Amino acid sequence: MSGYLEYNHSNEEDINCILAIMSVVYPISNELVKEFQSHLQALSIKKDQILFNENEVCEYIYFIKKGALMGCTSHKKQQITTYISIENEFVSSISGLHGAAHSQEYVVAVEDTDLLALRNQEINRMFRQYFELNYIFRVILEKYYKDAQQRAHVIRVGNAKERYQYFVETNPGYLDRLPPELIASFLNVKPSTLLGIKKNFKEQNERGNELETWEGKLKAHMDTRQSFRNKGIRLQSLAKEIGLSSHKLSIVLNNHINKSFIDYINQYRINWIKESLRNPEIVQNFTLEALAYSAGFSSRSAFYSAFKKLVGMNPVEYAKNGCR
């Protein structure tokens, strides 16, 4: 192994931690618990310290209790990041799994990292002896290879933005935690490209948050003021009512809510009519046309056309069907 790594016998808290995570996959027998109590070891490594090197036999399988590790290979004197792992994940040599061959990659700490470790010779013996350990590690390996396949696909065929979005969605918290140059290497993009994409996505998120805020104000205004009942309502007049420019209101409606102004207003009108039809007293005293005019429609034809478009049937059919 690279350098000097000080292994210590793990404490009860460490043992219970790893057993609790494994037992979620499959119940662990008392005999296997005793094996972990006897053979599980603990070590801590500092940031940038190598856990094992290329062309070495990795003698352990590791569990990350705290911190982050990255697996790397080198090609033409260039470092290539092949994977990143953080808390509650198992790490070992992929190419030399279970100590069967020399490792073709090296693993280094991205942060100060606390690890739990089992010697490969012990875990190989336990594989032969305990069914549950085989099953647990089969599930773990299946998940790893599925993730690896998806990652390889995105990195090979996806553009830089798609790779970035994949990374953000599948590794929440990594982006602000890990060095940008490491993430850039992992995604096979230049650091400057990564920073540009990150800035672009941040601006998009900020715009999205702003639009959500204005959508909330628009909804609150419509619910309390019922501006839709005004037959003469226009985009400009509604924007003025809520203190928003016509251009911004148009963006909120078309790009965020995905409705035209007239469809947005008519949806409120129709919802108001549908709610009114649930009241027997209103049904007895008002015709559909009267409700439509009260809701803000200026003509019978406009009412019927909007109702059919947004509900899927005309208002008479809707009323006959029990207003469902």
Whole-number pLDDT of residue 153: 75
SS3 at position 52: strand
Do 215 and 276 fall within a single domain? no
Do 289 and 209 fall within a single domain? no
CATH number of the domain within which 306 lies: 1.10.10
Do 294 and 224 fall within a single domain? no
Do 23 and 109 fall within a single domain? yes
Do 87 and 33 fall within a single domain? yes
Rounded Cα–Cα distance for residues 319 and 149 (Å): 54
Whole-number pLDDT of residue 61: 93
Q: Which residue in the block uniquely carries the two structure tokens 């009412």?
A: 303
Residues 124-143: tens digit of each pLDDT: 999 999 999 999 999 988 88
Residues 59-100: tens digit of each pLDDT: 999 999 999 999 888 777 777 888 888 898 999 988 888 888
Whole-number pLDDT of residue 294: 93
SS3 at position 9: strand
Rounded Cα–Cα distance for residues 324 and 315 (Å): 11
Rounded Cα–Cα distance for residues 72 and 54 (Å): 9
Do 101 and 120 fall within a single domain? yes
Whole-number pLDDT of residue 323: 58
Whole-number pLDDT of residue 3: 55
Do 138 and 249 fall within a single domain? no
278 in a domain, yes or no?
A: yes
Q: Structural domain of residue 208, as residue ranges?
A: 203-258
Number of domains in the chain: 3
Whole-number pLDDT of residue 322: 59
Do 213 and 267 fall within a single domain? no
Read off the tokens for 301: 């034809």
Whole-number pLDDT of residue 59: 92
Give, in degrees to the nearest 5, the angle at Cα 139 between 157 and 13.
115
Q: Is the CB of residue 264 less than 8 Å from the CB of residue 257?
A: yes
80 in a domain, yes or no?
A: yes
Do 92 and 126 fall within a single domain? yes
244 in a domain, yes or no?
A: yes
Do 213 and 316 fall within a single domain? no
Rounded Cα–Cα distance for residues 292 and 225 (Å): 18
269 in a domain, yes or no?
A: yes
Whole-number pLDDT of residue 65: 94
103 in a domain, yes or no?
A: yes
Do 214 and 244 fall within a single domain? yes
Where a domain ends, among 96, 125, 142? 142
Rounded Cα–Cα distance for residues 36 and 166 (Å): 36
Where a domain ends, among 142, 173, 188? 142
Q: Answer whether 0.85 is exceeded by the pTM.
A: no
Whole-number pLDDT of residue 1: 45
165 in a domain, yes or no?
A: no
Nearest 10 degrees: Cα torsion 249, 250, 253, 255: -120
Ranges in the chain, pLDDT < 70: 1-3, 157, 322-324
Where a domain ends, among 122, 142, 162? 142
CATH number of the domain within which 63 lies: 2.60.120.10
119 in a domain, yes or no?
A: yes
197 in a domain, yes or no?
A: no
Do 112 and 220 fall within a single domain? no
